[in-house]
Amino acid sequence: MSTTDDLIEQLAASAPPPQRSLGRFLLPLAMAMLLCTFGVAMLLEGAFAPAASDGLAPIMVKWGFSLALLAMSAGALWAIGQPGRRTSEATRALAIPFALVALLLVLELVVGGRPFPGTTWQRCLIAMAMMSPLAFAGAIMAARWLAPTQLRRAGMVAGLYGGAVAMTAYVPFCPGHGMAYLAVFYCLPILAMAGLGWILGPRLLRW
């Protein structure tokens, strides 16, 4: 962290915390979720059709990952937007869903993985590429209503939120399952969006 960043952090910590509206913060996040869900539903057909052949378990596993990451990234973004608050714990906690996927992927490979990559992986990547930036924009709007001082970290978390929203919206239409599929066609695009947020955060969130 640069000397300027250190100075900003010290000034933010010594100043009284400003009052921020949680509702105003959540509004663009919710709008991004609604727009992505509506957009996927308009473009694709057959919501929950994969459950007819594979049951609800694959959908629930993917939703477990995406919803956990969605909630954790929103909470981390709120914390980062409060000057003077410690945010390292909330940021490190975001690695937990990815660590669980990595562990389950190892177990799956040991016992014998599912057919990979399947036949619809291109559609999955297209959906993630289309919806992630839209939800990322909503997270950036939410963060700009706060006062983040760690702009790269805020941008990274906004990227994680964008990817998690895109995954949550697309999962009911996705016939792919297995940890290898989740890791490659969901986790990697989400991490790519987080990397883009890390790069763009200082430009999009600077005061």
The 10 Å Cβ neighbour count of residue 130 is 15
What are the structure tokens assigned to 85, written together?
A: 């608050």
Taking phi over 0 as left and psi of -120 to 50 as alpha, with beta for the rest, 85 belongs to: beta
In a domain, 156, yes or no: yes
In a domain, 4, yes or no: no
In a domain, 14, yes or no: no
pLDDT-derived band of residue 52, with 50, 70 and 90 as boundaries? confident
Helix ranges, 112-150 (H): 121-144
Res 6: pLDDT: 52
What is the residue range of 174's domain?
23-205
Residues 6+ apart with CB under 8 A from 29: 74, 138, 139, 142, 161
Contact yes or no for 77/161 (Cβ under 8 A): yes
| The model's pTM | 0.87
Q: Which of 6, 3, 1, 9 is nearest to 147 (CA)?
A: 9
pLDDT-derived band of residue 80, with 50, 70 and 90 as boundaries? very high
In a domain, 117, yes or no: yes
In a domain, 11, yes or no: no
In a domain, 18, yes or no: no
Instruction: Kindly tell me if the per-residue pLDDT of 12 is higher than 90.
Output: no
* Range with the poorest average pLDDT among 20-24, 45-49, 105-109, 142-146: 20-24
In a domain, 10, yes or no: no
- Please count the structural domains in the chain: 1
Q: Measure Cα distances from 172 to 23, 62, 153, 189 in Å.
A: 28, 9, 30, 18
In a domain, 6, yes or no: no
What are the structure tokens assigned to 100, written together?
A: 């669980």
